[in-house]
Each structure stands twice: as C-alpha cells, then as structure tokens.
Structure 1
Amino acid sequence: MIGKDATGRRWSIGDLAHASGLTVRALYHYDEIGLLSASERTASGHRRYTEGDLRRLYRVRALRALGLSLEQIAGVLEDSSDDLVTLRDLLATQLRNLQEQAEHIDRLSNRIHGLVRQLDESSMPDPDQFMTTLEMISVYETGFTQEQREQLAERRAELGPDAVEAARSRWAELVEQLLGHVRDNTPVDDPQVQDLVRRWDELGATFHAVGEQGERTKAAARRMWQDNSAELGRRLPWPAERMTALVGYLERARQAR
C-alpha cells in the first residue's frame, strides 16, 4: 500500500481491489458508470483514491450487501452526503440487518437441519426437495411474511413439477461446466464464463419474486451459498471443496461484469 503525502493517504486501484475483494475490472466499471471515481491521478495517469473515495466504496459495498442494484445505489449516493451522520445511519442499518439475520438463523436452524437430513437420503435432491431448498435459502435471509410464503407457493404451483425437474437438470449442467472452468483457472471475465453465470442467475430468478423482493431473495441465496457452501456441498454429488470454490468463482465473475 502506498504511503502518505502532504494531503493525506492515497490508495491505488490495486489496493482497493485487494482490500474490498472486488476485481480491478469491477472498479473500472464503477468508474465508467459514475459510481466511484478516483479523485486524483498521478502524472502518468494512474488512479489515486482518497479517504473520501474509500468511504464511498464502503457505502457502495454496504448497500450492495443489503440487496440494492448498482442503479439504486447510485441514486442513494446522489441524494445523500458523505458525513458522520450519513455513515452512522448506514452502519445502523447494517447492524439491524445482521440482527434480523441472527434471529432468522435461530428460528430456521431446525428446519434447515431437517432439510439436510432429507438430502442425505439421496445423491441428488428430487424436484420437491430442490424447490424446498431454494425456498429455504430465501426464508433464511429475508424472513418472508405469510403473504410472501403464499406467493412462493403460488409460484411453485405455476411452474409445476416438470418445469422444476427441467430446472434441476439445467442447474446440474451449469455446475459441471462452471466447475470445469474453475479447474482450468479460466479468468472470471472470460465471455464463456460470463455467459454461464448469466444463465445461472437467470435460472435462479425463475424461482424468486419479481422486483425489489426478487433482488433481495437473489442476494440472500448468494449469501446462503457463500456462508454454507461446504456443508451444502457435502449433500450434492460433487466434492464439497469444489462447490466452495465454485461459490467464490461465481461471486468474482459477477463482480467482473
């Protein structure tokens, strides 16, 4: 990390990428869409980020974790200021979100363990188990209301068992293809990888609500896989360590868009 100058500390784009877990490509994209631009540049044109830029990146990442799209985040940042009150409000929102998640974990732990025991009985979940897994992933993070649960049930009925089985087969194919790219160390911004990730996300979206709730559900599903990939992977016909690697690979690929 570079040191201090007369006006304070500065960070290179590589420093920010390393600290945040984002790719350099993702930070370039943030710059292109006006979400995060370096306040300074060196004489040779290299980006240099200030403390204000660093705080803005934190806000972007925090809002992203809350399920907002990049477009929504841009609107929030445009309508708010970079001060102690704003930052405190954001941190308080994050804290409330974490507390809600902890409550959901306590409430749903037994139900998830029951589902895991069901998965232990076969090498691959049947359609009903597969659908239940997706619903449980959603409930785990978002705490659906009774109305939302009814909407999920309606969606399940709309899809029907044949569609759910077809989705399971397509998902298994995507897993195999993506694991191949993980094994071959294919760059996450490779066009083929990006296409597979897009298809993965589109497949998952068919099981979620439309609109803002759907975005929250998708974000929850990703966090569930990130936090529990090793345990869930042991219940699938692929080695747990490979599924854990796949989860990280998917997230890096999304950040590289």
Structure 2
Amino acid sequence: MSTSTWKVGPLAEAAGLTVRTLHHWDAIGLLSPSRRTPAGHREYTEDDVGRLYQVLALRGLGLELDTIARCLDAGLDPARVLRDHRESVEARLAALTTLRDRLAGIEEALADGRPPTTAAVLGALRATGAAEGAVRRHLDDDQLRALARHGAAAGPAAHYLLEVEWPELYRRAEELRLAGTEPTDPRVRGLVARMDELSALFSGGDRTLSAGVRAAWREDPAALSGDASARPGRWDALTDYLEAAR
C-alpha cells in the first residue's frame, strides 16, 4: 500500500487551487489532511486526494460547499452521483428530442395546409405540460411563480438537487424503511432534515407551497417524477414513515 503524501503547496498547485482555499476547506471540515508532521504541517494522503477529486467534481456541478460536505459525509457515492446526473440529463435530452419531433410534425402539417391530428396535439401537450398541470391543481398562479422564482435562485445546482440528490435521499430512506429501521433512528432523521432543507430552499419556507407540491406528488407521481410506472399511493408508506420521523 502506497504511503505517498502531499504537502499543501504542491497539492494546491496540482489541483489548480490556492493554499488559502485548502486551508479554508480544512477549517470548515470539508477536506482535512489525515496526517501532520511533527512540526504541525499538513500532509494529505491518497484518500484525501480522492476526496479532493470528489469535492471538485461536485463543485463543478454548481453545488455549495456545505451541500458537498453533506453528500460526502453521508456516504453518497460520487460515481453514482455523476452517473445519475448524466442519466437525468440524457433523459431530459430524450424528452426534448421527442417534443421537438412532435412539434416539427405539427409544423409540417400546418405548412402543408393539413390540420394536425388529435394524437399529435395531445402528444405535444403531454411532453410539455404534465408536471405543471399536476402542480397547478394544487397551487395558484402566484404560488407557481414563487416556486419558479425560488428554483431560479438556487442557480446551477437546482437541477442536481432536484434530479439527483432529492431522489437519492428518498431511495435511501426507502431502504431503511424496508430494512425495518425505526423512524426515530438518527439516520432516518438526518435524511428527513436534509429533505426539509431542500423543501425550504425551493419553497422559500412557505409551508402552503410545500404542502401543495406534496399533494401533487401523491396525486400524480408519474407526472412529477417522470416515471411512467408510478401510480398514486405508491409512496404513501414511505411518506408516512418520514412523517413519523419528523
């Protein structure tokens, strides 16, 4: 097993960072060197360099440092994070390609003087408005605008938080529920705390807004999750489990 270590200066240079940045990350507990010399100088091990790579990869997705720390400290596999993020982007691209093709078909029909078929119109509507329609049944226009505003304020990280981290939190909670873990277990409560933190981020702390989104999720999980196999009531047991943890 290699015992190679790096001093803070050479590591900072290799990673394209400043020594001050690494000192700051050490101070906040994001990336602390595993070793110190007798004189107290920082020495980073290969495991530390691996964590540094993970930090840089997640930061490249636009995540804040505190979010990155939670992901890594909770044991979230960075390889899975990046794979899931890529897959979610590919799914979005596929959905946009489908929508583009349907719109092109309608446009071609109109250019030829032919009215578009009902099936074509309905297909385009399904590709654009299913999720919004599900939420609109529970939120008014002002609330929808507020939801969009809070999402935009989250910046580049919004996609990751909604499409990768949030589903991963629910997946891990469901694993604990199926394993018979008590809702009072610190692991469950930790997941719930992060879920509530994300909910507050996208709702601005408006409980009415959060309740509306949760109601839409229960009513039409397929529209909001993008999972065509999802049916109402599918996650009721998990929702009750999380409420018990709260």
Normalised-by-shorter TM-score class: 0.3 to 0.5
Q: Which has the higher contact order (CA 8 A, sep 6+)?
A: 1
TM-score under structure 1 length normalisation: 0.38
TM-score scaled by length of structure 2: 0.40
Larger radius of gyration: 2
